[in-house]
């Protein structure tokens, strides 16, 4: 406690008292997520520059006070901005929100951690850029950097976001500074366009880790396609799914499909389109199969719904791509339809960051989502589990056999989605949606989450990213990586002050 007070004084000296927040309202908000948490946050720091981040970390290291960095702190379903361990001071980087470089010719954008998807999109629009940034289906106010560090996914040809970033500037927990690529050499001309410099590649070390605070990152952009088509199909039978997945893999591998496809089940569709039918259900949960079938019928949905974008530089290429898609998929998805840009609402193009999908967090709420959704404040119960599954029909079937029945056993709808972000693997993403105001639901949801997580791991389908609800895996890895990464952590963070418990160490000890 004494050390914390000393650190707070030192931070006030560096940042000014108004950027060291200790009031109850701020602290309580920082302790709240979309599921039950017990972590206490003694203060929130808001540095405004990389130099201030360095000084803040030196003070933390010297006085052994743990800090937890967030860029925008909208990591909904994975812990929002609540630290992995109690007692961490939140290092909130939202004030560092400058676009540092934009190059239309070489197609990249370099940003500070506080730059949001909405802001970056508006920046490019204002300059009439012909380039597009991968756009997530999540909050428009989420940050590019926080999302990329979590290895998030988005729309567009650069949807596997962390694959298309370079030249990270990182403040180590000691306050030292590091650049991951050529940027470390004075005057390097290709720093923003060449991922690797000579020597070991370091980028990956700082994603999903607690080895440093990233204060600058370059994102590669893709040209906006002249022609965009939206392809979608409700599957009439769940049994069609494995064959559809096998065909989609072919389209991804050969490059006809240059970006991720989504397969949403009926529960996920319903949760974005509306809210739980409380009246019809007389207040009972979860949704029984017959009501689920009725809702599907009423909304014109199938048990699964496929959608993806085809982007092409010319009308002829768009026609040819659609022809190929039809030839490959029509036999297994006869309802396949192709829409032109002008036939759909702009949100469906996924070019503009939109809050549309945030509605799903309000599925079990009794009142409609507010104009400015704040799921932490509004008591939305929401947990994500995203696991990597090889992109074959048989693997998807096996993974679904594990993931689908468990939510119902705990009283939740199986809200599922399969995202074909890569060409060889997909993410099976399960959302547990509930109302935190209902007594006992918080505990039940976490029990369900852990059961699901354990069962998926046991079947060999491991998570692609982790939330603070399970910050590390329960079982140790089968090699020496736990020890090696532990040694690395000790070398760069001698007193373990940076985001303790976030991803590293690898497992509970």
Ligand X SMILES: Cc1cc2nc3c(=O)[nH]c(=O)nc-3n(C[C@H](O)[C@H](O)[C@H](O)COP(=O)(O)OP(=O)(O)OC[C@H]3O[C@@H](n4cnc5c(N)ncnc54)[C@H](O)[C@@H]3O)c2cc1C
Give me the residues that bind ligand X (CB under 6 A), please.
69-77, 81, 93, 113, 136-139, 142-143, 145-147, 149-150, 152-154, 213-214, 357-358, 360-361, 499, 502
Q: How far is the CB of 210 from ligand X (least distance, A)?
A: 7
CB-CB contact of 433 with 478 (8 Å): no
Which of 286/471 has CB closer to ligand X? 471
Q: How far is the CB of 500 from ligand X (least distance, A)?
A: 11
Which of 101/160 has CB closer to ligand X? 160
Side-chain-facing half-sphere of 297: CA atoms under 13 Å: 6
Which of 81/305 has CB closer to ligand X? 81
Q: How far is the CB of 78 from ligand X (least distance, A)?
A: 6
Which of 358/428 has CB closer to ligand X? 358
Which of 14/272 has CB closer to ligand X? 272
Q: How far is the CB of 39 from ligand X (least distance, A)?
A: 12
> Is the CA virtual torsion 386, 388, 394, 399 positive or negative?
negative
Question: What are 402's two structure tokens?
Answer: 């594990």
CB-CB contact of 160 with 137 (8 Å): no
Which of 32/74 has CB closer to ligand X? 74
Direct distance between the N- and C-terminal alpha carbons of the chain, in angstroms, rounded to an integer: 26
CB-CB contact of 39 with 81 (8 Å): no
Strand, helix or coil for residue 45: strand
Q: How far is the CB of 487 from ligand X (least distance, A)?
A: 20
Burial of 100 per CB tally in 10 Å (0-12, 13-18, 19+): middle
For residue 286, say if its preceding peptide bond is cis, omega within 30 degrees of 0: yes
Q: How far is the CB of 137 from ligand X (least distance, A)?
A: 3
CB-CB contact of 312 with 230 (8 Å): no
State the Cα–Cα distance between residues 216 and 145, nearest whole angstrom: 8
Q: How far is the CB of 174 from ligand X (least distance, A)?
A: 15
Cα Rg, the chain, nearest whole Å: 23
Q: How far is the CB of 366 from ligand X (least distance, A)?
A: 19
Which of 161/248 has CB closer to ligand X? 161
State the Cα–Cα distance between residues 431 and 416, nearest whole angstrom: 6
Kindly report the backbone phi and psi dihedral angles of residue 135, in degrees, each rounded to the nearest multiple of 5, phi listed first.
Answer: -115, 130
Q: How far is the CB of 217 from ligand X (least distance, A)?
A: 8
Which of 181/242 has CB closer to ligand X? 181
In this structure, what is the dihedral angle of CA atoms 70, 451, 356, 228, given to the nearest 10 degrees? Answer: 100
State the Cα–Cα distance between residues 244 and 235, nearest whole angstrom: 9
Q: Which of 320, 123, 75, 111 is nearest to 214 (CA)?
A: 111
Neighbours of 211 (CB within 10 A): 22
Q: How far is the CB of 313 from ligand X (least distance, A)?
A: 25
Q: Where are the beta strands (DSSP E) in 104-176?
A: 108-111, 131-132, 165-171
Which of 35/108 has CB closer to ligand X? 35
Q: How far is the CB of 288 from ligand X (least distance, A)?
A: 25
Which of 163/319 has CB closer to ligand X? 163
For residue 505, say if its preceding peptide bond is cis, omega within 30 degrees of 0: yes
CA 259 to centroid of chain Cα atoms: 17
Which of 54/143 has CB closer to ligand X? 143
């Amino acid at each position: 406690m004494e050390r914390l007070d000393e650190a707070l004084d030192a931070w006030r000296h560096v940042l000014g008292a108004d950027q060291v927040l200790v009031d109850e309202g701020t602290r309580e908000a920082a302790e709240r997520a979309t599921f039950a948490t017990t972590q206490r946050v003694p203060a929130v720091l808001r540095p405004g520059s990389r130099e201030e981040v360095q000084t803040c970390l030196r003070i933390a290291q010297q006085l052994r006070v743990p800090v937890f960095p967030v860029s925008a702190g909208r990591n909904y379903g994975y812990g929002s901005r609540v630290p992995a361990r109690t007692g961490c001071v939140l290092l909130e980087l939202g004030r560092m929100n400058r676009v540092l470089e934009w190059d239309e010719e070489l197609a990249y954008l370099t940003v500070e951690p506080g730059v949001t998807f909405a802001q970056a999109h508006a920046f490019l629009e204002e300059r009439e850029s012909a380039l597009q940034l991968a756009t997530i289906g999540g909050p428009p106010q989420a940050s590019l950097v926080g999302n990329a560090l979590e290895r998030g996914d988005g729309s567009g040809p650069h949807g596997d976001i962390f694959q298309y970033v370079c030249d990270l500037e990182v403040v180590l927990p000691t306050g030292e500074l590091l650049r991951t690529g050529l940027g470390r050499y004075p005057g390097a001309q290709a720093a923003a366009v060449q991922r690797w410099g000579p020597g070991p590649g370091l980028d990956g070390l700082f994603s999903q880790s607690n080895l440093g605070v990233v204060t600058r990152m370059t994102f590669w952009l893709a040209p906006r396609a002249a022609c965009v088509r939206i392809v979608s199909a409700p599957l009439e039978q769940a049994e069609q799914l494995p064959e559809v997945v096998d065909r989609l893999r072919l389209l991804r591998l050969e490059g006809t499909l240059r970006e991720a496809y989504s397969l949403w089940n009926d529960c996920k569709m319903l949760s974005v389109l509306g809210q739980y039918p409380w009246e019809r259900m007389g207040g009972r949960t979860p949704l029984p199969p017959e009501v689920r079938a009725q809702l599907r019928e009423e909304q014109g949905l199938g048990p699964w719904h496929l959608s993806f974008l085809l982007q092409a530089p010319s009308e002829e290429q768009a026609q040819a791509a659609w022809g190929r898609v039809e030839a490959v998929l029509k036999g297994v998805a006869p309802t396949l339809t192709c829409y032109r840009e002008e036939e759909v609402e702009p949100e469906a193009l996924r070019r503009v960051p939109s809050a549309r999908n945030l509605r799903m967090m309000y599925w079990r709420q009794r009142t409609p989502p507010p104009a400015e959704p704040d799921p932490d404040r509004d008591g939305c119960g929401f947990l994500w589990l995203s696991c990597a599954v090889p992109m074959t029909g048989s693997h998807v079937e096996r993974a679904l056999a594990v993931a689908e029945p468990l939510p119902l056993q705990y009283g939740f709808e199986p809200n599922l989605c399969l995202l074909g972000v890569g060409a060889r693997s997909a993410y099976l993403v399960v959302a547990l949606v509930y109302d935190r105001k209902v007594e006992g639901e918080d505990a039940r949801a976490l029990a369900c989450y852990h059961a699901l997580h354990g069962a998926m791991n046991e079947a060999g389908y491991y998570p692609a990213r982790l939330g603070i609800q399970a910050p590390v895996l329960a079982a140790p890895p089968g090699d020496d990586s736990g020890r090696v990464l532990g040694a690395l952590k000790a070398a760069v963070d001698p007193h373990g002050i940076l985001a303790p418990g976030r991803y590293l160490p690898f497992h509970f000890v």
